[in-house]
Amino acid sequence: MATLDIYTTRTMLPMLEQLFAVRTFFLNRFFKVAPAVSTATIEIDIMKGKRRMAPIVNPRVQGKIVERLGYKTFTYAPPYVKPKRVITAQDSIRRAPGEVLYGSNVDPQQRALDLLARDLNELDGLISRREEWMAAQALTTGKLLVNGDGVRDTIDFQMPTTHLPALTSTRKWSASASATPINDLVDWCNLVAQDSGVVPNTCVMGLSAYKAFRDVFLAAKAPNPLSPINITLGKIDPRVMPDGTTYVGSINESGVALDVFTYQDWYVDDIDGSEYAMMPVNKVLIGSTNARAELHHAVIQDMDAIEGGLAAVPRFPKSWTERDPGQRLLMVQSAPLAVPHQIDAFLCATVL
């Protein structure tokens, strides 16, 4: 009976699809996954509308021509990632984590299968975390700073400077005596709605920003327990949610309705080796789940993918062996780009 080669791409692809991903709150909350394309670049049309009205004319004169609104097309080359793992014969012989020390009945073939699943899971997780980092950077800065081996570029999504406000010292949320976080959120939501036509429904706070907001809010509510501001935080009732978030509550004030979250996840920067929060601790993000934002994937630039008809996929796993020294290499390739098409529907403020 022929044995199944577990390292073929067509065997690994379904296995890869069943693995658990890392925390991806920004992607899950705001981005939809677009179909992978068979080109190395992605063209994005950005069109910003205006609230024009039909011109008034005398019924006995000619109609007035209304010019079409223009749009800009940006061509982006998604960053390419291809994390790789080396597998040796010793890895299939060595006891796996959690396996009994003595008398184990796990044979090397089964260990190889388990090891493949763990390695695919880790490599896929590295790519998923890079995609989440892209989403976080795009929403909180309006740009992606692409910096890697042989690659250095800036992808600018044209976020207006007014959507990146920074509070002055007297208005910072840490200045409890003069801070007005509810008014700030209302003003920012109105600005987003005016500029984009999309009403925000989500607020994500960095941890330090949330603590300052909590302190100011509770201090303001204390003398007036019947305040019309409806927020679960006032009852001290936050709820831990999946993918690293805590649902704080909801704000309903002056026509603004926001679900408020904090997001606890981090990444290690591959340039300086330091660890950073996905959501900067001193910032507040406002956005809408109804805004158009998509996670795109460009073509896999690998002959095995092209010849096998698998070039237009979000992930392309492949494996091959080297004879001396005897080892197997496992690699997963992807060309992702998180694009907030309606960039005006997002605002990220520095509040501390």
Rounded Cα distance between 150 and 130, Å, is 18
Q: Which domains are seen in the chain, by residue range?
A: 9-47+72-155+294-339 (3.15.30.10), 159-290+343-350 (3.30.1930.10)
Q: Which pTM value belongs to this model?
A: 0.83
Residue 288: which of 154, 224, 196 has the closest Cα?
A: 196
Please say whether the beta carbons of 288 and 340 come within 8 A: no
Q: How far apart are CA 127 and CA 78, in angstroms?
A: 13
Q: What is the pLDDT of residue 237?
A: 59
HEC sequence for 202-233: EEEECHHHHHHHHHHHHHHHCCCCCCCCCCHH
CA 215, distance to chain mean position in Å, is 29
* pLDDT number for residue 228: 47
Residue 260 is which amino acid?
V
- Interior/surface letters 217-240, b for 16+ CB within 10 angstroms, e for the rest: beebeeeeeeeebebbbbeeebee
DSSP tally for the chain: helices H, then strands E: 7, 18
pLDDT tens per residue, range 187-232 = 999 999 999 889 999 999 999 999 999 888 766 655 555 454 445 5
Predicted pLDDT at 13: 63
- On the CB side of 173, how many CA atoms lie within 13 Å of its CA? 28
**Torsional sign, CA 231, 351, 206, 175:** negative
**Using CA atoms, how far apart are residues 336 and 59, in angstroms rounded to an integer?**
54
Instruction: Name the strand (E) or helix (H) holding 203.
Output: strand 202-205
pLDDT attached to residue 3 = 47
Q: For the segment 59-113, what is each residue's pLDDT rounded down to a tens digit?
A: 777 666 666 655 677 788 888 999 988 887 776 655 555 454 444 556 666 777 7
Residues of the chain with pLDDT under 70: 1-21, 45-53, 56-58, 62-71, 91-109, 218-237
Residue whose entry in the numeric block shows the structure tokens 């390695």: 119
